[in-house]
Structure 1
Amino acid sequence: MADKMIALRLDKSLYDRISEDAAKENRSINNYIVTKLSDTVPTNNLEQRQIVGSVVRGDKINMANDLVEVKGIYYRYDLLANDLVDKTRNYQVIKANGNILTIQELKSEK
């Protein structure tokens, strides 16, 4: 599918904030806006409908091959705090981007 081009009108203050944030992340303004919109506008795929929000036991996370099992399906994962996985803790899927899930430890357990 071809990319679509649109004209977007922004007030100067908003444009300046976007430009500053994009520069901090070493990204183009276009890439920054597309990424923010992609993160905000939900897709209607399986992961968004049924996986995001799921709780996963630590023993279902395999750090050796970077896979996590969620509802019988294996996904690659990013651990939000870049900590080591504690097999005795529970983790929650907070984001899905294709076949990569972002997970974070449930803090209420500590």
Structure 2
Amino acid sequence: MKTILATIRFPSELYQQLKSAAQAQNISIDQLIIQSVRQALQNNEIPSIENQLVLNQIVSPAQIFPESGLLKVNGIFYRYLTENNAPILNSTAYLVIGVTGNILTIRAIKK
């Protein structure tokens, strides 16, 4: 497969989010962007506002409220599921890996 070099300019905050998300998944930023674009094109749909605002966001332990089953991202409360239904680890940050309506799927970020 032939590749083409392209330059993309990102706002610094978005770049830092990309960098953190790529590190959390143990992949390069290039791989994360390619996967995201490929998925968006395969789905042939415009991402929802939730996808645009919360997908690949890092959620600190203070933003997760296990007793109510809610978490807070960008000032908005969402219901959540953990990857593989794993219990919430109190001192662990999480990465938002999926959005279905107002339900987010999160994955623990391994230290």
Tell me the TM-score range normalised by the shorter chain. 0.5 to 0.7
Map 1:17-56 onto structure 2 (within 5 A): 41=43, 42-56=45-59
Give me the whole-angstrom Cα distance separating, in 2, the residues matched to 1:98 and 1:43: 14
Summarize deviations over 1:66-89 as a string: whole Å, max 9, x none. 101011100000011322212211
Displaced runs of 4 or more, over 6 A: none
For the pair shown, which has the larger CA radius of gyration, 1 or 2? Answer: 1
| Residue 44 of structure 1: how far off its partner (Å) | 2.2
Give me the whole-angstrom Cα distance separating, in 2, the residues matched to 1:86 and 1:43: 33
Q: Are residue 76 (structure 1) and residue 79 (structure 2) matched?
A: yes
| Residue 48 of structure 1: how far off its partner (Å) | 1.1
Identity %: 30
Letter in structure 2 aligned against 1:80: E
Task: Name the counterpart of 2:16.
Answer: none
Task: Name the counterpart of 2:90.
Answer: 87
Number of equivalent positions: 70
Task: Name the counterpart of 1:61.
Answer: 64
Task: Name the counterpart of 1:32.
Answer: none
Task: Name the counterpart of 1:96.
Answer: 99
> Which runs of no fewer than 5 residues in structure 2 stay unpaired?
1-38
> Which runs of no fewer than 5 residues in structure 1 stay unpaired?
1-36
| Residue 58 of structure 1: how far off its partner (Å) | 1.7
TM-score of the superposed pair, with normalisation by structure 1:
0.57
Aligned-pair Cα RMSD in Å: 1.8
| Residue 47 of structure 1: how far off its partner (Å) | 1.2
Give me the whole-angstrom Cα distance separating, in 1, the residues matched to 2:87 and 2:51: 25
